[in-house]
Amino acid sequence: MSVILIRQAKPKDAEAINDIYNLYVRESSCTFDEDPITLEERMEWLAEHGPRYPAIVAEVDGEVVGWAALSAFHKRSAGRFTVQDSVYVRGDMRARGIGKALLSELIDRARDLGYHSMMAGIAHDQEESLAFHRGMEFVEVGRLKEVGRKFGRWLDVVYMQLIL
Ligand SMILES: CC(C)(COP(=O)(O)OP(=O)(O)OC[C@H]1O[C@@H](n2cnc3c(N)ncnc32)[C@H](O)[C@@H]1OP(=O)(O)O)[C@@H](O)C(=O)NCCC(=O)NCCS
């Protein structure tokens, strides 16, 4: 496959980020969002994902085919050393190492930024995402029962953690 270029997300990427994400909003329980994110919301999100909470994209042949970001896990100050990841790869580009490249970069950046731990909150039916995080040495640390409901089904959230 062509080279995967990982770089900081920019405002011009907002539409591509949304195109990738909103498909999962409509079709998958991997996100608890049920309404597509608007361009305006994505621009605000990008503005919030500055140096402390980076957003990055993966480009292949000049096209954005995946994105990832760090967000605060706890909003209150004593929780500031823990972050949560988001990683989304365009459907037709999955299983080609793009997710791994994005998450590896996020982990490196989280370490450089002095964070202590990284969390992933994953719907229990998302086998692929659970395997993906396990492969990156995240371990399951907790499970919240039936805290989500999408497509008429109750969803548990499995928390996985990587101590950085
Ligand atoms: C989960 C996701 C980010 C993985 O990205 P990807 O580019 O498809 O994955 P990669 O090709 O980098 O694979 C990395 C590892 O993930 C696991 N994995 C990937 N696809 C898998 C599949 N279909 N079944 C089981 N494990 C899988 C494997 O452990 C793989 O490592 P290996 O290739 O050494 O076996 C991607 O599939 C995706 O965007 N899914 C929908 C959104 C989502 O669930 N995001 C995570 C929520 S934060």
pLDDT at 98: 98
pLDDT tens for 14-43 read: 999 999 999 999 999 999 999 999 999 999
Domain architecture of the chain: domains with CATH = 4-116 (3.40.630.30)
Decide: residue 78, CB within 10 A, 0-12 exposed, 13-18 middle, 19+ buried.
exposed
Phi, psi of 10 (to 5 degrees): -125, 165
d(CA 91, CA 105): 20
Residues with CB under 6 A from ligand 1: 24, 30, 86-89, 94-100, 120, 122, 126, 128-129, 131-132, 135
Say if strands 63-72 and 55-60 run parallel, antiparallel, or are unpaired: antiparallel
Which residues 6+ apart lie within 8 Å of 108 measured at CB? none
**Confidence at 1, pLDDT banded by 50, 70, 90:** low
Query: Nearest Cα to 150, choosing from 20, 30, 23?
Result: 30
> How far does the centroid of ligand 1 lie from the alpha carbon of residue 109, in Å?
20
Tokens of 61: 């042949």
pLDDT over 90 at 53, yes or no: yes
pLDDT at 2: 84
Identity of the amino acid at 146: E
Helix (H, G, I), strand (E, B) or coil at 14: helix
pLDDT tens for 133-160 read: 999 999 999 999 999 999 999 999 999 9
pLDDT over 70 at 132, yes or no: yes
Best residue for ligand 1 mutational test, from 19, 128, 138 (most atoms within 8 Å of Cβ): 128
pLDDT tens for 62-116 read: 999 999 999 999 989 999 999 999 999 999 999 999 999 999 999 999 999 999 9
pLDDT at 75: 87
Residue whose pair of structure tokens reads 């396990």 in the numeric block = 134
* Predicted TM-score of the model (pTM): 0.96
Query: DSSP letter at 51?
Result: S
Beta bridge partners of 70: 85
Overall average pLDDT of the 116-121 stretch: 98
Nearest-CA residue for ligand 1 atom 28 is: 132
> How far does the centroid of ligand 1 lie from the alpha carbon of residue 54, in Å?
21
pLDDT over 80 at 11, yes or no: yes
d(CA 75, CA 83): 10
> How far does the centroid of ligand 1 lie from the alpha carbon of residue 76, in Å?
31
Contact 117, 163 (CB under 8 A): yes
Nearest-CA residue for ligand 1 atom 2 is: 99
Best residue for ligand 1 mutational test, from 127, 132, 136, 157 (most atoms within 8 Å of Cβ): 132
